[in-house]
Amino acid sequence: MRFVLFLLVLLSSKLSLAFSVSSEFTYQKQLPFSYTLDDSKSLNDLLRKEVDWRAEPDSTLNLGQADKPLWIKLTLNNLSFSDTDLLLSIDNILLDKVTAYITTQDTPIVTLALGDSLPLVKRPIKHEAQLVPIKLLATQSADIYLQIEHHGAVNAPLSLWHPIEYIKYKSKFNLIYGIFAGFIIALALIHLVLFSFTKKTYFLYAIGFISIIWLLNVHLYGFSYRYLYGNWYWLQQYAQPLLVLLSSVVLLPLIKPFVQINRVRSAFSVPPSYFYTGLITLLLTLSILPIHLSVAASYILSFVLLTSLLFLFAYQWLKNKSRTPSLVAIFSFMLLALGHQISFELSLISGPQLNTPISYFCYFTMSLILSFTLVKQFIRERDQEVEAQQAKLAQSQAQDALLNEKLKLQEQTQADLEALVDERTFELQVTLRELEDKNRELEQMNIEDPLTKIKNRRYFDKRLQMEVRRSRREQSTLSLVMLDIDHFKNINDTYGHLSGDKAICAVADIINSHLQRPSDEVFRYGGEEFVMLLPNTELAGAQLIAEQIRSTVEAFQLKLDKAIINLTLSAGVYSSVAIDPKSPHIYTDLADKALYEAKQLGRNQVRIYQP
């Protein structure tokens, strides 16, 4: 019976692709092989059938979700006159079950079991990688059959190594990943020290988050299987979905101090007991689901949560100019890491995961950014506390000074008191006048752009609100013109920022000179962009003024020390009677769209918003 089986194996090997190994062989990452999908339970059952073997010229095999086990057939020829020891690496450490059959001419079939569904001690080589040891006899060949079963996308890249070369290869990557892992652990320890000194809870949550992503990394790259829980099959299967969900959810209490939108902040005010109860319920649910559903559910929940947080803080950053760009970066890197992992799960990318350490890099970068953000937040809170203490001290000193002054006044005679009162009254009047002057100066500075001496963006927002209400009340047309200097960046890059400032001032003066009524006003909207408010002005009048300004700027030449610059600008016009006084931004949005159209159509023109 064994002889018949060997003849079947030999006949099958003649039809497959073969790879030859010489005495100088070191490694080969592209191996020719054949594969098929078949539900045979053993090699004997497979060889008794007529199997449709499909040739694969290299070792990059990515079949996606397979409903049957994958069989791979590989033939190795030893060209040397001595026995050769080799290692066949299946470069996907997360495969559930791998059975290797090794057939040679003079020895019985060797059967080896691998996969992360087996304890580490049962593997032929106690290593985190899926390694099949092969001994090629001198001038002979061997056929290797691999039976692969996996709950998700079947990604089975193969590589062949000389044992010494594989040790060198793994040592290099273990050193690199060890350094990254050491840095992440060091960051967690730093947060532990900071928490022990400051008692700030966000440092405690940061310890938990960094520890979780450290565990997730060592799991994804196989080190947990070798060093942590190699004999715990359940945890080896479910660690990935549990850690993915934990790494996303544990961010919620950590980012609570940075949420500035009141409606969203209320959602973060859930009692801790409710939060932890919900988290434990989710983890238990993932633990009892089938592994493929557990993995899918964890990634979907994490992706939805992180995407929502990314949009929240991006909106908060852009709308309120809050100090949260670091959180936007954290969520972006985390989504990139999840996308990389999901791509492996969905079979969108393939190849050895060890060679694409994107997740490791993303999580390491996130840890650095998070540490920087929290330390900066602590420094900001400490400065605020110091300022509050200084304010209280100054208030106390002022009260003491006032009390001393009263005591001195009581010691003086009535005549001196009256004279002093008159003198202080005069000084108070002078001081009040000075304060009034200073207040007027501050108010002017608050509404005036320091460069162009025209009104600034803050004052424009107030005026726009007032004019929109007036337009709604009086049913009069309100026109708004957005103007932008064309190719302004080229002016800055070519002639310098001082020349750019001169160009902005010159354009501001030109625009201001075309305003014909006291109610018309120009504002500096930001950078090289200006906006004009034209109350009680129809669309034709607003378009005419904008066109006059454009032509004046086009004819104007800005004279510098060593050059003359020709300027142009683009403008967008929007006119209407205000309908909703609570939405003044509609005017700026629609005028900006018209401005964008002018830019797209070649610049140096005036466009009207057309709905």
Query: Tell me: the pLDDT tens digits for 279-331?
Result: 889 888 888 888 778 888 888 898 898 898 888 888 888 877 666 788 888 88
Higher pLDDT, 524 or 57: 524
Please tell me the distance from the alpha carbon of residue 325 to that of residue 318, in angstroms, as a whole number.
Answer: 9
Please tell me the distance from the alpha carbon of residue 131 to that of residue 112, in angstroms, as a whole number.
Answer: 10
Reported as a pLDDT band with limits 50, 70 and 90, residue 118 is confident
Residue 100 above 50 pLDDT?
A: yes
Higher pLDDT, 65 or 136: 136
Higher pLDDT, 418 or 290: 290
**CATH topology identical between 2-161 and 176-380:** no
375 φ/ψ sector (left φ>0, alpha ψ -120 to 50, else beta)? alpha
Q: Which residues are bridge partners to 65 per DSSP?
A: 153
Here the tokens at position 402 are: 């006032």
Q: Position of tokens 């997360």? A: 94
Residue 244 above 90 pLDDT?
A: no
- Which residues touch 544 (CB under 8 Å, ≥6 apart)? none
Percent of the chain with pLDDT over 90: 22
CA separation, residue 21 to residues 26, 82, 107, 130, 409 (Å): 9, 11, 19, 21, 107
The structural architecture, per CATH, of the domain 176-380 is Up-down Bundle (1.20)
Reported as a pLDDT band with limits 50, 70 and 90, residue 439 is low
Please tell me the distance from the alpha carbon of residue 248 to that of residue 296, in angstroms, as a whole number.
Answer: 15
pLDDT of residue 602: 93
Reported as a pLDDT band with limits 50, 70 and 90, residue 14 is very low
Percent of the chain with pLDDT over 70: 89
Higher pLDDT, 268 or 55: 55
Reported as a pLDDT band with limits 50, 70 and 90, residue 230 is low
Domain ranges of the chain: 2-161, 176-380, 385-446, 457-608
Stretch 224-250: mean pLDDT: 78
Reported as a pLDDT band with limits 50, 70 and 90, residue 549 is very high
According to the 3-state scheme, what is the secondary structure of 31-97? CCEEEEECCCCCHHHHHCCCCCCEEECCCCCEEEECCCCEEEEEEEEECCCCCEEEEEEECCCCCCE
pLDDT of residue 550: 95
Candidate CATH numbers 2.60.40.2380, 3.90.1300.10, 2.60.40.10, 3.40.930.10; the one for domain 2-161: 2.60.40.2380
CA separation, residue 198 to residues 212, 254, 369 (Å): 22, 15, 20
Candidate CATH numbers 3.40.605.10, 3.40.50.720, 3.30.70.270, 3.40.50.300; the one for domain 457-608: 3.30.70.270
Please tell me the distance from the alpha carbon of residue 55 to that of residue 15, in angstroms, as a whole number.
Answer: 10
Residue 574 above 90 pLDDT?
A: yes
Burial of 388 (0-12, 13-18, 19+ CB in 10 A): exposed
What predicted TM-score, i.e. pTM, was given to this entire model? 0.54
pLDDT of residue 473: 93
Please tell me the distance from the alpha carbon of residue 311 to that of residue 261, in angstroms, as a whole number.
Answer: 13
Stretch 198-225: mean pLDDT: 82
- Catalytic residue annotation: 528
**Mean of all residue pLDDT scores within the chain:** 83
Residue 193 above 80 pLDDT?
A: yes
Higher pLDDT, 137 or 65: 137
